[in-house]
Structures are given as C-alpha cells and as structure tokens.
Amino acid sequence: APQELRYDGQVVVVTGAGGGLGKAYSLYFGERGASVVVNDLGGSFKGSGSDSRAADVVVEEIKSKGGKAVANYDSVADGEKIIDTAIKAFGRIDILINNAGILRDVSFKNMKDADWDLIMTVHVWGAYKCARAAWPHFRKQKYGRVINTASAAGLFGSFGQTNYSAAKLAQVGFTETLAKEGLKYNILANVIAPIAASRMTETVMPPDVLENLKPDWVIPLVGVLVHSSNTTETGGIFEVGGGHMAKLRWERAKGGLCRADSTFTPGSVLAKWKDVNDFSKPSYPTGVANFMELLEEAQKLPPNEPGEDIDFKGKVVLI
Ligand code: NAI
C-alpha cells in the first residue's frame, strides 16, 4: 500500500464539521486513523436554527469506512462541551481545527449590534472557548496542534463584511500568540485563509469556478501542519485553495525617522512621507521595530525644519 500521513491514536476535534471544509477535514482524519469529534450545530449559514443531522451524517460516513467518530451538537460558543465530548469518548485531544463559521453580511451603514455580536461570538469567542478548553490537555501531554480559520476578507477587507473581517483577522493575532505561548509545550498553532466551494461561497462564485475549489483541496496543507512530524512550522498564515498554497507575512517599509522634539510637526511627517511608504527595500518583521535603537538614532538627527507645515498636496501651510 502507498505510504500516507497517519494520525493513529490521535484525537481530532473539528468544529463546524457538518458540511463544507469541516466535513472534508473530518473524513480525511477519519480515514487516516484518528478518532474524530464531529461538531456541528447544524444551523443555517446565517447562524439561525440547529439540526443534529449535519454532524450525524458525517459520523455515519466515517464509521461506514471503518473509522472512529462521535458527534457533538453544541455551539462553539460552549467550546468546553465540545472538548468534553472528546475526553469522554476518546480520553484525549491532540488536534483542534477551529473551523465553524457563519456570515451576517450587511453594509456597515446598516450593521446592527446583533449582526456584529453574533459574528464575534461564533468566530472569536468560539475559537477562544474551544482552544481554552483544549489547552490544559495540550500542556499536560506536551502535545497539541491548532488550526484557526481566517479569511481573505479579514486580511484584505471585503464589502459588506466589516463584522466578519474583524472576526477573521482576530484569528491571526490569536494564532500568533498561541504559537508563542505554546512553543515550549510542543503546541503548534497556524492560521489559514481558505477558499473553497461551500454553501458560504456557492452564491458568490460561478459554478465553473466552484468546480475547481473543492474543500478537499484545502485539507492536505492542514494535514501537514497538524501532523506530529511538524515540529517547527508554527504561527504561520497560509492562503490555501484550489491547489494553491502560499504563506503570508508582514512587510515593513524603509520608514521615516524624525528628531522627536518640539520641532516635530505634521510638516515633519509629510516631509518623510516617501520614506514612510518606501517598500523598495522592505524588511519582513516578526516583531515591533527596534525602538531603543531608533530612539537613539532620532536624537542624533538635526532639529526638523521649523516654521512650516506642508499638507498632502505639498502646499505650504504657514504656522
Ligand atoms: P460551511 O457553512 O459549509 O461550514 C461551516 C459550518 O459551521 C456549518 O456546517 C455550520 O453549521 C457550522 N457552524 C456554524 N456556526 C456554528 C456554531 N456556533 N457551532 C458549531 N458549528 C457551527 O462553510 P465553509 O465554507 O466550510 O466554512 C468553514 C470555515 O472557513 C468558516 O470559518 C469560514 O468562515 C471559513 N472560510 C471559508 C471560505 C470559503 O471560501 N469557503 C473563505 C474564507 C473563510
């Protein structure tokens, strides 16, 4: 038989696993030896209603192929119950795939508190609750793998999705810090911005495009990241879909430096605007700029040109 990455003896929790990407993850892990907790509330993609069938169907499919799985119907907002299901059914948890999600698309002008709140609850609070409940187990066993799910909407913005964008970029910061705090305990966390055909995207993309964006094409990258053979790749942000995968990172421009004293005015800022925006020789920071060094350098600079501000159009404004 061909060799394959296996997860024998491991327990995987997949949230929002009744359809779309979550279902594809569950089937993948179920076929490769893991015990899977298939969590799904079974509501609509706008977050209303609930139906235990969503998770049950996936559990049945895993079992019919000889795999091990149990269903959980709780909302990720009650994440501790989902992790509890894993512990009760299988005695441990090794991998957490925070995948559950909904949309409440509405222009910012018409955004209601409830639209904002629900999105934050499911995506941000939900990912937190599941990870928080899994964390003590991960630490104790000195092993854990977490995938959080961001979105291009969070990274780049997207019309009608201020709530979703905010919740999705939150996954990035959340992951970065989990990666830092987890490293010592062999807990690795990565975040993906997937693209795949699902009920979430079926109305916004044409059928021929969707055809090439099977959820299945997101799974292999995640399978690699959460495998025990990965011991170093953590805190990564990955775009993934349709066979394409790429890591994303921050880029810092050259930057402008002004002497920080009473001569430092809006005009001084605009005089340096080109440097502030100069990406011709970028750096790729993994932390804040070296402020101690920069402060020292700034104090060595001559005073800023006094007496005038210039506005964005280069117009001199006398002050
Ligand atoms: P989907 O709608 O098929 O799957 C999401 C699942 O989460 C559903 O089965 C739903 O019942 C479940 N769910 C919703 N709220 C829940 C809750 N409170 N507790 C438990 N389960 C809940 O959509 P898809 O596309 O598979 O989405 C999966 C994840 O990927 C989501 O986080 C989504 O935001 C993200 N994503 C998907 C993209 C795509 O192109 N499909 C693009 C960017 C991000």
Q: Do 40 and 154 belong to one domain?
A: yes
Which of 217, 248, 279 is the C-terminal boundary of a domain?
Answer: 248
| Predicted structure pTM score | 0.95
Structural domains of the chain, count: 2
Q: Within a domain: residue 229?
A: yes
Q: Within a domain: residue 199?
A: yes
Domain range enclosing 222: 11-248
Contact 69, 39 (CB under 8 A): no
Q: Do 69 and 139 belong to one domain?
A: yes
Q: Is 101 in the pocket of ligand 1 (CB under 6 A)?
A: yes
* Atom 8, ligand 1: residue with shortest CA distance: 16
Residue 164 annotated as catalytic: yes
Q: How is residue 252 annotated by DSSP?
A: B
ipTM of the complex: 0.99
Q: Do 236 and 289 belong to one domain?
A: no
Please state, in angstroms and rounded to a whole number, the distance separating the CA atoms of residues 294 and 279.
19
Q: Do 182 and 305 belong to one domain?
A: no
pLDDT tier for residue 305 given thresholds of 50, 70 and 90: confident
Q: Do 85 and 30 belong to one domain?
A: yes
Q: What is the pLDDT of residue 290?
A: 86
Q: Do 95 and 226 belong to one domain?
A: yes
Which of 218, 248, 278 is the C-terminal boundary of a domain?
Answer: 248
Q: Do 23 and 131 belong to one domain?
A: yes
Q: Within a domain: residue 253?
A: no
Q: Which of 89, 108, 111, 105 is nearest to 38 (CA)?
A: 89
Q: Which H helix or E strand runs over 240?
A: strand 237-241
Q: Do 192 and 218 belong to one domain?
A: yes
Distance of CA 27 from the midpoint of ligand 1 (Å): 16
SS (H, E, C) 10-40: CEEEECCCCCHHHHHHHHHHHHCCCEEEEEC
CATH of residue 112's domain is 3.40.50.720
Of 28, 164, 185, 284, the active-site residue reads: 164
pLDDT tens-digit readout, 91-149: 999 999 999 999 999 999 999 999 999 999 999 999 999 999 999 999 999 999 999 99
Q: Within a domain: residue 56?
A: yes
DSSP β-bridge partners for residue 38: 14, 71
Which ligand 1 atom minimizes the distance to the CA of 75? 19
Q: Do 203 and 230 belong to one domain?
A: yes
Contact 189, 235 (CB under 8 A): yes
Q: Do 196 and 309 belong to one domain?
A: no
Q: Do 239 and 282 belong to one domain?
A: no
Q: What sign does the CA torsion over 51, 95, 93, 3 have?
A: positive
Q: Within a domain: residue 15?
A: yes
Q: Within a domain: residue 168?
A: yes
Residue 157 in tokens: 């913005």
pLDDT tens-digit readout, 154-200: 999 999 999 999 999 999 999 999 999 999 999 999 999 999 999 98
Please state, in angstroms and rounded to a whole number, the distance separating the CA atoms of residues 162 and 105.
8
Which of 222, 248, 274 is the C-terminal boundary of a domain?
Answer: 248
Average pLDDT over residues 2-24: 96
Which ligand 1 atom minimizes the distance to the CA of 241? 40
Contact 25, 99 (CB under 8 A): yes
Q: Within a domain: residue 28?
A: yes
Residue 233 in tokens: 């790749």
Q: How confident is the prediction for the chain on average, in pLDDT?
A: 94
Q: What angle do CA 215, 129, 52 make, to 5 degrees?
A: 55
